[in-house]
Amino acid sequence: MNHRFRAHVNHKRTFDLREMAYAIEELWFTEHDSGGFTQYKNPKAFEKFDPIHHIANWSQPMLVIQGGRDYRVLDTQSRDRHRACFLALPCPVPCCTLP
């Protein structure tokens, strides 16, 4: 991550594109977040843009925000990201789940 900022805010973003592709009925979001690639047409490019593979690059605290009624990005994506931050970063990571 960029070191210009003291912290990052993650608001309703995908964390694991592969899991998201199987869990949501609208595939546009998964393809958009992966740069237009799918795991079947171009698996290497799909994996390159999957945020789950970049956890080792995280260094600043991250505030994770998710709305429970947002059906475009499942709340499990934010919970998984929060858990990854908790394990990867040496500082507390707040998570805000809204109804």
Return d(Cα 54, Cα 41) in angstroms, integer.
Answer: 22
Average pLDDT over residues 5-28: 83
Asked whether the predicted pLDDT for residue 15 surpasses 80, the reply is yes
**Res 2: pLDDT:** 59
> Can you list the alpha helix ranges (DSSP code H) found in 24-72?
28-33, 43-48
Per-residue pLDDT of 77-93, as tens digits, reads 888 888 888 888 877 77
Residue 12 lies in a domain: yes
Strand order in the sheet with 62-67: 8-11, 62-67, 95-98
Residue 19 in 3-state DSSP?
Answer: helix
67 within some domain: yes
Residue 84: count of CB within 10 angstroms of its CB = 19
> In the chain, how many domains are there?
1
Angle, CA 34 vertex, CA 90 and CA 78 arms, to 5°: 40
Q: What are the tens digits of pLDDT across the range 26-84? A: 777 777 777 777 778 888 888 888 889 998 888 888 888 888 787 778 888 888 888 88
**Domain, as residue range, for 72:** 8-98
Q: Is residue 63 part of a domain?
A: yes
Note the pTM of the prediction, 2 decimals: 0.75
